Amino acid sequence: MSSLSPVRTRAAIPASAAEAASTAAPQGFGATDAGLVLMATIWGVNYSVVKAGLQAMTPLSFTGVRMVFASVVLFGIASFVRAEWPNRRDIVRLLLLGLLGNGFYQLLFISGMARTRAGVAALIVAAGPAWIAILSRLLGRERVSRLGWAGIGLQLIGVLCVVGSTQKFDGGSDGLLGAVLIATGSIAWALYSILLQPYTQRSNGLHLSALTLASGAAMMGVIGIPDMLRLDWGAVGLTGWGAVAYSALLAMVVAYLLFYRGVRILGPTKTAMYGNLQPIIAIAVAWILLHETPTGWQLLGAACIMGGLLVSRTAKVRPAPEALEEAA
């Protein structure tokens, strides 16, 4: 999500990539699978990396710098893709969508990360598919089966357990506010993913990511200017700059490229299953590096969220009749 990581679903995957995967999916564990494990590891570690970066920089300055850095690199890579860029009208709309999915979301996410635990943030973000399913139903895009709703219910129960457990942390009400901000950001990302769907069917995924990240980065760069002017850059140190480099280059560029390769070769479903490793890795790394010992409620929430994700994966999702009429 890029949260720190892009929370992706079928709604955000180019149709051509999914079709290619269905015709040439390799057997066994190969280089692509290893790349997806690396992707999940990068995203999982990134939560603790961001917490370390926030010790050296303010939330807005950290996010502004890393997003602008990542946007420049991603735009450079996308420029080498042999595919037509979206037309002018679509570019304008994609830039506006980027303000929601990469601007507003990142503002809520980093504000929440500054107030709550890395493990809490990872679990709340992991439940993003539940918000996507709910909003898709409300907007008349998809209909979910009873089994699917059961999985969504489990994920939301898990989020409530995780958010409620923040009252037991040292942060108290501040930790609760951080969890709520991250949850609100996840809803914003879910809406962005749904609205992005029509463009994924006619444009290259890297071009879409470059454009939507560019406007979000510009927004966060402008918002972060006052903090950047006040910041003592000489005092940031290697830890702070290392966190910026990791969060920008690895979490927002390398991990996404691994994700896109996975979708193209293995398909969206299997790729998403590897992405579900992210919160488990995040909790383990935060436990080791940040000494964030998981509480009983947090572990219960993790079990509900992961169980809900697995149930939802087996449920059938079909387009709503009104969505089919629009497509026709």
Tell me which of 162-166, 255-259, 276-280 is least confident. Answer: 162-166
Give the tokens for residue 201.
Answer: 């069917």
* DSSP per-residue string spanning 150-206: HHHHHHHHHHHHHHHHGGGSTTTHHHHHHHHHHHHHHHHHHHHHHHHHHHHTTS-HH
Is pLDDT of 327 > 70?
Answer: no
Summary count for the chain: helices (H), strands (E): 17, 2
Asked if residues 102 and 216 have their Cβ atoms less than 8 Å apart, the reply is yes
Question: Mean pLDDT across the stretch 299-308?
Answer: 85
**3-class secondary-structure state, position 276:** coil
| Range of the structural domain that residue 219 is part of | 33-327
Give the list of residues 6+ apart from residue 249 with CB closer than 8 angstroms, or none: 69, 70, 73
pLDDT band at residue 41, thresholds of 50, 70 and 90? very high
7 domain residue, yes or no? no
Q: Tens digit of pLDDT for each residue in 122-149?
A: 888 888 878 888 888 888 777 778 887 8
- Amino acid 13: pLDDT: 47
Tell me which of 5-19, 110-124, 166-180, 258-272 is least confident. Answer: 5-19
Asked if residues 70 and 253 have their Cβ atoms less than 8 Å apart, the reply is yes
26 domain residue, yes or no? no
Asked if residues 195 and 136 have their Cβ atoms less than 8 Å apart, the reply is no
49 domain residue, yes or no? yes
- Amino acid 288: pLDDT: 92
- Amino acid 328: pLDDT: 43
18 domain residue, yes or no? no
Number of domains forming the structure of the chain: 1
Whole-prediction pTM value?
0.80
Question: Mean pLDDT across the stretch 90-95?
Answer: 95
Question: How many Cα atoms are found within 13 Å in the side-chain-facing hemisphere of 44?
Answer: 22
Q: Tens digit of pLDDT for each residue in 219-234?
A: 999 999 999 999 999 9
Q: Tens digit of pLDDT for each residue in 148-197?
A: 788 888 888 888 888 777 766 545 578 888 889 999 999 998 899 889 88
15 domain residue, yes or no? no
- Amino acid 21: pLDDT: 45
28 domain residue, yes or no? no
Q: Tens digit of pLDDT for each residue in 281-290?
A: 898 899 999 8
pLDDT band at residue 26, thresholds of 50, 70 and 90? very low
**3-class secondary-structure state, position 224:** coil
